[in-house]
């Protein structure tokens, strides 16, 4: 097993545009600043980073996530947080005596986590405990799309038109299927973000537009705004910008909510079980 020397670590890109696998690291063990620096740099540049074959306790996951910044306690921890460790909440479909032990149906449409808040999280981590299998096939993949590669691929004239525009995210108007309580709506008043975000570490630009969450683009008439949102959201999902992660138990994977959008593939049901521990790393106001 690795002692987490920087020289032991290798970085294998998952696609040309997004994702990197790190080998030669054991996240139960401490990471010195040099080793952590390599990981953080790879994460910032590739948008999705994963390590396979881990054997983590909840505390190990929290300690690793904490290296990247303050942790956020998600509102779903009220019902699905680990007892005494609300920094982790459980997503998946597992249940006991008819009672759900995990939040079901998370992220089944393309999105960036908590984009409807004033300070969306820098990153989200999932640690896979149980991955659904059917007839030897793995189900429950997660897809990731690089909104940075999508920005780079736009014609310069289009980029110029988009620079400086801002979008509104209004929870009351959004089109995601999951019903939300009046309390949640009250908790997240409408916010505005730039539709072209600048990554705080790399300076790279990304499109920050989601079809289900952006409810308006400022200064544009509604029909024009809706067409632009749909066109940009669709552009981000071009196959050359997408990495599809097939999970294995023991995978620790994290994504950057500035440069990447993601979507869960809901192609499984009990008795195929899925169970993930989720941690959220706080972020700054988008610029």
Residues that bind ligand OGA in the complex, under the rule CB under 6 A = 91, 106-107, 113, 124, 126, 142, 262, 264, 276, 278
Asked if 111 is an active-site residue, the reply is yes
Asked if 262 is an active-site residue, the reply is yes
Closest approach of ligand OGA to the CB of residue 142, in Å: 4
Inter-residue contact 226 to 212 (CB < 8 Å): no
Binder of residue 20, out of Mn ion, ligand OGA, none (CB less than 5 to 8 A by kind): none
Looking at the DSSP assignment, which residues form a beta bridge with residue 263? 143
* Catalytic annotation, pick one of 211, 262, 263, 274: 262
Closest approach of ligand OGA to the CB of residue 285, in Å: 20
Distance, CA of 284 to CA of 254 (rounded, Å): 17
| Cis check: omega of the bond before 70, within 30 degrees of 0 | no
Output helix, strand, coil percentages for the chain, rounded to the nearest 5: 25, 30, 45
**DSSP-derived pairing of the beta strands 95-96 and 99-100:** antiparallel
Residue 111 or 205 having the CB closest to Mn ion = 111
Q: In what order do the strands lie in the sheet with 142-146?
A: 242-245, 142-146, 260-264
Inter-residue contact 8 to 34 (CB < 8 Å): no
Closest approach of ligand OGA to the CB of residue 225, in Å: 25
Binder of residue 150, out of Mn ion, ligand OGA, none (CB less than 5 to 8 A by kind): none
Residue 111 or 273 having the CB closest to Mn ion = 111
Distance, CA of 238 to CA of 261 (rounded, Å): 12
Closest approach of Mn ion to the CB of residue 14, in Å: 18
The Cβ of residue 186 has, within 10 Å, a number of other Cβ atoms equal to 10
Closest approach of ligand OGA to the CB of residue 92, in Å: 8
Asked if 197 is an active-site residue, the reply is no
Binder of residue 61, out of ligand OGA, Mn ion, none (CB less than 5 to 8 A by kind): none
Residue 85 or 158 having the CB closest to ligand OGA = 85
Residue 245: burial class (beta carbons within 10 Å; 0-12, 13-18, 19+) = buried
Q: What is the DSSP letter of 227?
A: H
Binder of residue 276, out of Mn ion, ligand OGA, none (CB less than 5 to 8 A by kind): ligand OGA
Residues at the site binding Mn ion, with contacts judged by CB under 5 A: 107, 113
Residue 126 or 216 having the CB closest to ligand OGA = 126
Residue 21 or 113 having the CB closest to Mn ion = 113
Binder of residue 264, out of Mn ion, ligand OGA, none (CB less than 5 to 8 A by kind): ligand OGA
- Phi/psi at 56 (5° precision): -100, 140
* Catalytic annotation, pick one of 26, 44, 113, 256: 113
Distance, CA of 198 to CA of 201 (rounded, Å): 9
* Catalytic annotation, pick one of 45, 46, 111, 235: 111
Residue 38 or 265 having the CB closest to ligand OGA = 265
Closest approach of ligand OGA to the CB of residue 55, in Å: 20
Contacts 24+ apart (CB under 8 A), 6-11: 6/32, 6/34, 6/35, 6/37, 6/38, 9/35, 9/38, 9/39, 11/38, 11/42
Binder of residue 91, out of ligand OGA, Mn ion, none (CB less than 5 to 8 A by kind): ligand OGA
Q: Which residues are catalytic?
A: 111, 113, 262, 278
């Amino acid at each position: 097993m690795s002692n987490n020397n920087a020289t032991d670590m290798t970085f294998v890109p998952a696609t040309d545009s997004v994702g990197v696998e790190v080998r030669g690291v054991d996240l139960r063990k401490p990471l010195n600043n040099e080793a952590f620096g390599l990981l953080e740099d790879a994460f910032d540049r590739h948008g999705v980073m994963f390590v396979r074959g881990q054997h983590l306790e909840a505390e190990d996951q929290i300690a690793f996530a904490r290296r990247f910044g303050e942790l956020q306690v998600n509102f779903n921890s009220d019902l699905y947080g680990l007892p005494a460790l609300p920094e982790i909440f459980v997503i998946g479909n597992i249940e006991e005596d008819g009672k759900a032990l995990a939040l079901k149906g998370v992220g089944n449409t393309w999105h960036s986590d908590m984009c409807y808040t004033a300070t969306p999280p820098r990153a989200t981590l999932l640690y896979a405990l149980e991955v659904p299998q059917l007839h030897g096939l793995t189900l429950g993949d997660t897809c990731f799309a690089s909104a940075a590669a999508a920005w780079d691929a736009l014609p310069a004239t289009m980029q110029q038109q988009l620079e400086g525009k801002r979008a509104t995210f209004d929870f009351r108007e959004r089109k995601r299927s999951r019903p939300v309580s009046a309390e949640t709506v009250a908790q997240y008043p409408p916010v505005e973000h730039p539709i072209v975000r600048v990554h705080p570490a790399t300076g790279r630009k990304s499109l920050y537009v989601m079809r289900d969450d952006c409810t308006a683009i400022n200064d544009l008439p509604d029909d024009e705004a809706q067409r632009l949102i749909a066109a940009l959201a669709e552009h981000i999902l071009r196959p050359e910008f997408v990495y599809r992660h097939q999970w294995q138990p023991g995978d620790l994977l994290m994504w950057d909510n500035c440069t990447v959008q993601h979507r869960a593939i809901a192609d499984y049901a009990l008795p195929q079980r899925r169970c993930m521990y989720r941690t959220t790393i706080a972020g700054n106001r988008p610029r």
